[in-house]
Amino acid sequence: MRSLSEIETAAKRASRAVGFSWGNSEEVGKSIRLLEMFGLQGIKNLNHYYKEKETKNFEDLNLISEKNEPSSEAFCPIILGISFLDQIKLIENFDSIHFKKIAHPVIFLSFLSRASEISGKKIHFKFDQNEILLNLNVNISSNILNQEFPKFANEIEIKFVNNQDNFTDSEWNNLYKLAENTFVEESDSLKQGAAGAGLTDND
Domain assignment present for residue 36? The answer is yes
Question: Angle of helix 22-37 relative to helix 105-119, nearest 10 degrees?
Answer: 90
The pLDDT, as a whole number, for residue 186 is 58
Range of the domain at 48: 4-161
The torsion region of residue 8 among left (phi > 0), alpha (psi -120 to 50) and beta comes to alpha
The pLDDT, as a whole number, for residue 116 is 93
Domain assignment present for residue 203? The answer is no
Domain assignment present for residue 148? The answer is yes
> How is residue 88 annotated by DSSP?
H
Rounded Cα–Cα distance for residues 160 and 56 (Å): 31
Identity of residue 94 = F
Domain assignment present for residue 58? The answer is yes
The pLDDT, as a whole number, for residue 170 is 93
| Residue whose C-alpha is closest to residue 90's, from 62, 57, 126 | 62
The pLDDT, as a whole number, for residue 189 is 60
CB-CB contact of 173 with 147 (8 Å): no
The pLDDT, as a whole number, for residue 76 is 97
Domain assignment present for residue 202? The answer is no
Domain assignment present for residue 62? The answer is yes
Within 10 angstroms of residue 75's Cβ, the number of other Cβ atoms is 26
Identity of residue 80 = L
The pLDDT, as a whole number, for residue 203 is 47
The pLDDT, as a whole number, for residue 129 is 87
Q: Domain count for the chain, please give it.
A: 1
Domain assignment present for residue 198? The answer is no
Please list the ranges in the chain whose pLDDT falls under 50.
198-200, 203
CB-CB contact of 74 with 132 (8 Å): no
Domain assignment present for residue 85? The answer is yes
Question: What is the Cβ-side half-sphere exposure of residue 94, based on CA atoms within 13 angstroms?
Answer: 17
Rounded Cα–Cα distance for residues 50 and 16 (Å): 11
CB-CB contact of 173 with 165 (8 Å): no
| Residue whose C-alpha is closest to residue 102's, from 49, 51, 166 | 49
Three-state SS at 10? helix
